[in-house]
Amino acid sequence: MISLSKPAKYVFIGKITLRSQLAYVVDFLIRSVFLLLILYIFMQLWQTTFAGEGTATINGYTFKQMMWYLVFTESMVLATPSLSTRIEEEVKSGDVAFKLIRPVSFIAFHYAEYMSEVAIRYVINLILGSAIGLLLVGPLPVGIGLAWLPVMALGGFTVNFMLGMLVALSAFWVEETRGLEFVYNKILFTIGGMLMPLELFPESLQRIGHWLPFQTVVYFPARTAVGMHLGEISHALAIQWLWVILIGAMVWLLYRKGVRKLNVNGG
């Protein structure tokens, strides 16, 4: 990998992306109506479920925690841009040739761009989601977990980037990668715990979920924020970064293999 030595340039790439994203804040806010809609529906669903169960907690989650869990997962998922669309376009249009000859690492460039884009979208979603959460169910009891949310979210987005990159890099071999990304996102919805905490899954599925990297993307950060024990947090962080290293290595290998195979027409 080339030119990873000067982190300053990646900070600048991040800053530029941040600025261009700030120009679209209003547009992004309008699209956030969906967040409101989905949180309202899930509130109704869990309210009915809790009433049906007649208990204060379901698998350790109170109604309030369940709702805030969804605020955190939905805010994260709705903040993620599509890496496949970006890289597929670059490959198809030939723009990738310009990216490859720059004195910056291709992967690190995309990471800097992705993270700064995600940062602004996530903050907006969190503000909006929290406003909705406060309005619908009231404040979340503030615990130590909430302080760990930024760290967990950083790791979660990094794993998400790495997994997304694995899918997106297949554009070096095949033409259509968006279908694959679509399937990946759906995995995140279910086994990744976006729609429902892993604790509510059937026993066997829970066990499978704990052995896969998908839980580290949204389940870990959301679970941390709504109240994970301090001991669990360090364990979760270790698992998260182990996956970052593992999938990161896979991305690196795939990139090295792919870039040799790539044929660019036009540009």
Partner 1 sequence: MLMADDKLHKGHAGISEHDQPGKLKRLLRFTAASWRLNLAGAMEFRFSFLLTVGSMIVNNIVWIIFWGMYFKRFPVLNGWTLQDVMMMWAAASGGFGIMSVFFGNATRLANLIATGQLDVYLAQPKPVLLNVLISRMSVSAIGDLLFAIFIFVGFGDVSPVGIVKFTAALLISGMIFIFFCVIAGCLSFWLGNTDGLSFQLFNALLVFATYPTAIFKGFGRLVLFTVIPAGFISSMPVSFIRELDLPFLYGALGMTALLCAGGILLFYRGLRRYTSGNMMGLRR
Tokens 């990471």 label which residue? 111
Pick 106 or 184: Cβ nearer partner 1? 184
Pick 184 or 255: Cβ nearer partner 1? 184
Encode burial over 8-22: b for 16+ CB neighbours within 10 A, e otherwise: ebbeebbeebeeebe
Q: List the x/- string, 51-90, binding to partner 1 by CB under 8 A.
A: -xx-------------------------------------
Pick 34 or 98: Cβ nearer partner 1? 34
Strand partners for 27: none
- Considering only 40-48, 71-79, 138-146, 232-240, which stretch makes contact with partner 1 by CB under 8 A? 40-48
Strand partners for 49: none
Give the residue, chosen from 47, 82, 85, 130, that forms a contact with partner 1 under the rule CB under 8 A.
Answer: 47
Q: Evaluate whether 222 touches 73 at the Cβ level (below 8 Å).
A: yes
Asked if 103 interacts with partner 1 (CB under 8 A), we say no
Q: List the x/- string, 139-178, binding to partner 1 by CB under 8 A.
A: -------------------------------------x--
Pick 46 or 122: Cβ nearer partner 1? 46
Strand partners for 62: 57
Nearest to 188 by CA among 108, 112, 78, 49: 78
Interatomic CA distance for residues 63 and 251, integer angstroms: 39
Strand partners for 61: 58
Binding residues for partner 1, rule CB under 8 A, total: 27
Q: Evaluate whether 244 touches 163 at the Cβ level (below 8 Å).
A: no
- Considering only 12-20, 107-115, 192-200, 225-233, which stretch makes contact with partner 1 by CB under 8 A? 192-200
Nearest to 109 by CA among 236, 2, 29: 2
Q: Which residues bind partner 1 (CB under 8 A)?
A: 30, 33-34, 37-38, 40-41, 44-45, 47-49, 52-53, 176, 179, 182-183, 186, 189-190, 195-196, 200-202, 205
